[in-house]
Amino acid sequence: MHCSDANRQLQLYIDRRLTMQQVRELEVHIDQCAACQHQLFLLEEVASTLHNLQPVAEPEDMTILIMQRVRLWSSYGSSHLFAPSCPLPISSHRPSRPSSTSS
């Protein structure tokens, strides 16, 4: 087996999606190849880190914020290829106005 073949199979190996024959061939190659051993180690580290991530709770007002963005985007009409970006949250983003004090 060549390293290019092994690298294509490493994620499948981690995910246990290889046949027994493929597993045997890959393991023989990994036992003899330091570069592929290192690549496998890195992929296992990534998989472990991703597995241990805690879910992130979305903000309570996420739906409202998305709908505000959609409304703003659609207000530009189909004649514009790109609508200007708008920071979130839209509801708290108001342009500052100069004070209207007369001197």
When pLDDT is averaged across residues 95-99 and rounded to a whole number, the result is 46
**CA–CA separation, 67 vs 103, rounded Å?**
42
pLDDT digits (tens, 9 = 90+) for 36-93: 999 999 999 999 999 999 988 988 999 999 998 888 877 766 555 555 555 545 444 4
CB 89 within 8 A of CB 61: yes
Domain spans of the chain, in order of start: 3-52, 62-89
Alpha carbon 49 to its chain's center: 14
Instruction: Quick: pLDDT tens for 1-46.
Output: 999 999 999 999 999 999 999 999 999 999 999 999 999 999 999 9
CA 88/CA 35 separation, integer angstroms: 45
Q: ∠ at Cα 87 (99, 64), nearest 5°?
A: 105
Rounded to 5 degrees, what angle do the CA atoms 80, 91, 88 make?
65
| pLDDT the model gives residue 28 | 97
How far is 13 from 21, CA to CA, in rounded Å?
A: 12
Distance CA 67, CA 86 (A): 13
